[in-house]
Amino acid sequence: MDNNIVADEELLAKVRGVTGPTYMYDSKGEPVAVVLSPKQYKDLLLTGPRTRFDSELAERAWQDYLQNGGNSTAEVLETLTKLDCVLDAKQ
């Protein structure tokens, strides 16, 4: 599957010079894409995860784990299975 789309000049004229993400919709108003400039995309890939988690939060989580222990893989899987069942029931 080809993940590239060649835009015509009319579409390019609409998205050039946009300073933030550009949302594209179909004729029914349904979102179909978010267009980012190459710089925005690169910034998102390189800095996005770092801005979501700071080192202080990670350190607190690590200290909590050291003091209180954690869950086994089996316990985590059991919890996720229960949550999945709850989510399925709500849909």
Q: Is the pLDDT of residue 1 over 60?
A: no
Average pLDDT taken over every residue of the chain: 81
Q: Where are the domains of the chain?
A: 1-52, 55-91
* Amino acid 53: pLDDT: 67
The values of phi and psi at residue 74, to 5°, are: -60, -40
pTM equals 0.44
Q: Are 60 and 54 in contact (CB under 8 A)?
A: no
Q: 41-77: per-residue pLDDT in tens?
A: 888 887 766 666 677 888 888 888 888 888 888 888 8
CA dihedral defined by 70, 73, 74, 75, rounded to 10 degrees?
A: 30
**CA distances in angstroms from 36 to 3, 20, 21, listed in the order given:** 15, 7, 5
